[in-house]
Amino acid sequence: MFSRIAAAYALLDGVRRLLVNLLFLLTLVTLAVVFWVASEAPNLPKGTLLRIDLVGEVKESGPAEPSFMLSMFGQDSFEENTRLADVVDALDRAAHDDRIAGVVLRVDDLAGAGMASIREIGAAIDRYRQTSGHQVWTWSISYTQPQYLVAAHADHVGIHPMGDAIVKGLSATTFYWGPLLNAAGLEVEVHKAGAFKSAPEIFTSGRPSAESLAAQKSYMDDAWAGLVSRLEARRGLVNGTVEKFIAGIAKDGTAEKSLSVFFREAGLIDELETRDAYLQKLADKYAGGQVKDLKAIDATAYLAATETVSAGDTVAVLIAEGEITGMPELGGMTPDGINGVIDEIQEDPKVKALVVRVNSLGGDAVAAELIRARLVEYKKKTGNPVIISMGDTAASGGYWIATAGDRIVADPLSITGSIGVFAMSVHAEGLREELKVGRGGYRTTPLADFGNPAAAPGDVERRLIEGGVSRTYADFKKLVAESRGMSVEEVERVAQGRVWTGAQAVKFGLADAQGGMDEALKLACREAKLPAETASVLWEPVDTSWRGALRAFLQSRAGAAVGKVLEVRQALDALAAQSNRPLAWAPFEPTL
């Protein structure tokens, strides 16, 4: 009996050892194959074109990684968006690669991009053209404004003869929920510090305030002037061409000719041509006149083929993007997510400088402070410089985080500033009274009902909230003053919740220099006394939980109707979750 058990055990143990050995062997083979593939030089013949496809929205972060459950949908990622760094890196690498003969830019599927992202892509295209001496080509049936503002940096901009294109200006249309919430019996009380801190107006009013409109005008007029001047300079047009073009469209309409013809006559488009004619021009220049002989590689494959691993010192690039919140279930940027990545960066001895790319309109002030404090701690423990690079937005709570930087580089078109604080109390006292529902019960202290959505806040509660807002605003101004070498009085003059462009921020002392990620990396190398060519390594928090994957899936796949429902639900969830808390949110984001 025991001999049989022993034999069975020996057999099972033998099978176990065999499986373990096979698994170990398989791991070795896999690693060998990966190493061999990575070490192989990419097989790119000379004369290859780099194809850059801008898809979805341009973002700082990469797409969410799907969980095992959602991978059953058969997708590698659920977001069809374009990472800004990938576009810039591909162009910068290609500029020094003699196998790349030119760039073909596709903007047909570009859904949207912030103004700073558009400027940064345009700057990368210009660097490629100037460094390599090669051309950038683009063609589309039609161009939206964001698509055209990117395409305008190409040497050849083509459009179908029956296509449409538009350059129209900026707008900041916001939905105001105050009347709807009041009709539903919900009341929102706002306590704010900063006359221009207009973000909570969307919950209390039916229209923007005079202060909000003044702030929008200041920011958007400056940003639009910057966009137009760069566009006219790139296209070799005289100042005022774009405004004259828009005025002509508004006056005469397009009854007799298409928008594409207007564009061509204004010098904003190079050719009215079919796709076949465009491809033939490419073939004539790069393939001996034979379209079938055109050779191209897309940016994703090109980046993979030219990726190198640095064995020396590096500059870490940390992506800090999204609404700042202490609650991961709401999505966005959290202290746990960001600070966890900072912990990993701190443990890497090769990292000699840190660039934090901030792209956020703000959020929870406490969460922003936790991230700022961790960056300060990182500087003290490592001695490494921290450079802040502002993306499309680095306002309010985003600017709070930026105060941790040794230097701040702001894109000229970044939305920044909004140094102010507010808090909201949400209750349904009016609805209860309207429905004639009584309310009562025993309370052990006068504050026992604090935060109860069924009751309006009392005088004591209001004083507590107002005190929290005032102290947080004072702390905010003190942080700015200490980090920027300003007095609190000087900060107050540019604070009060007012939004500025990156160019204005430099003028007022809220940032050190204008520029994009390229300039921030150069500054990081100088501050750390590193060679200018030191490699940069991207670090970003990735939400691999099933909630994160499900959120990404719903937002990108569930359709417009579900998307709108999610937006409203998330707004209400955020409103309820942040009740009575000091918030540092920017008031608006312009639409291109």
Is residue 62 within 8 A of residue 541, CB to CB? The reply is no
Q: Do residues 367 and 326 make contact, with C-beta atoms less than 8 angstroms apart?
A: yes
Instruction: Count CB neighbours of 40 within 10 A.
Output: 9
Q: Are 369 and 400 a contacting pair, CB within 8 Å? A: yes
Cα 391 from chain centroid (whole Å):
7
3-state secondary structure of 510: coil
Q: What is d(CA 40, CA 48) in angstroms, rounded to the nearest whole number? A: 18
Strands (E), 113-261: 135-140, 156-159, 187-193
Q: Is the dihedral of CA 345, 348, 354, 357 positive or negative?
A: negative
Coil, strand or helix: which one is 190? strand
Phi and psi at residue 195, in whole multiples of 5°? -60, -30
Tell me which residue of 360, 358, 363, 451 sits closest to 402, measured CA to CA: 358
pLDDT for residue 2: 44
> CB within 8 A of 439, min separation 6: which ones?
432, 454, 455
Q: Could you list the mean pLDDT of each consecutive 10-residue stretch along the chain, which spans 592 residues?
A: 51 58 57 46 83 95 50 48 95 96 97 94 97 98 96 97 91 87 84 83 88 89 93 94 88 73 90 96 96 95 88 94 84 91 96 97 93 98 98 95 98 95 83 82 85 80 88 95 97 94 97 96 97 89 54 45 45 54 63 66
* Confidence (pLDDT) at 584: 65
Pick the closest to residue 118 from 527, 396, 516 (CA basis). 516
Residue with tokens 């690693």: 31
199, 310 Cβ separation under 8 angstroms: no
CB-count burial class (<10 Å; 0-12, 13-18, 19+) for 353: buried
CA distance linking residue 428 with residue 433, whole number of Å: 9
Query: Which residues, at least 6 apart from 481, have a Cβ–Cβ distance to it below 8 Å?
Result: 487, 488, 490, 491
Shortest CA distance to 482 belongs to which of 567, 575, 404?
404
3-state secondary structure of 467: helix
- Provide the CB-side half-sphere exposure for 330 (13 A, CA): 23
Angstrom distances, CA of residue 550 to CA of 79, 540, 546:
11, 19, 6
> What is the distance between the alpha carbons of residues 159 and 142, in angstroms, rounded to a whole number?
6
Residue 451 is predicted with a pLDDT of 77
Quick one: pLDDT at residue 458? Answer: 83
pLDDT, residue 39, reads 44
**Angle at CA of residue 124, ends 118 and 128, nearest 5°:** 145
In this structure, what DSSP letter does residue 585 have? E
Nearest to 416 by CA among 438, 401, 431, 429: 401
Please list, residue by residue across 425-450, b when 16 or more beta carbons sit within 10 angstroms of its beta carbon and e when fewer do. bbbbbebbeeeeeeeeeeeeeeeebb
* Confidence at residue 330, expressed as pLDDT on a 0 to 100 scale: 66
Q: Which residues are catalytic?
A: 197, 396
Q: What is the secondary structure of 335-398 as a DSSP string?
A: HHHHHHHHHHHHT-TTEEEEEEEEEE-EEEHHHHHHHHHHHHHHHHHH---EEEEEEEEEETHH
Distance of CA 327 to the CA centre of its chain: 19
State the DSSP H helix or E strand holding residue 503, giving kind and residue range, or none if neither.
helix 502-507
Helix H segments across 40-152? 84-94, 115-132, 145-151
**Residue 423's Cα: distance from chain center in Å?**
25
Residue whose C-alpha is closest to residue 543's, from 372, 279, 333: 333
Residue tagged 């063609």 (tokens)? 139
Are the C-beta atoms of 513 and 409 separated by less than 8 Å? yes
Quick one: tokens of 521?
A: 């990396």
The pLDDT, as a whole number, for residue 41 is 44
- pTM of the model as a whole: 0.83
β partners of residue 287: none
User: Which parts of 508-577 fold into alpha helices (H)?
Assistant: 517-527, 546-557, 559-577
The class that CATH gives domain 48-165+269-307+544-583 is: alpha beta
List Cα–Cα distances, 167 to 123, 141, 231, 278, in angstroms: 19, 16, 11, 23
Cα 338 from Cα 354, distance rounded (Å): 13
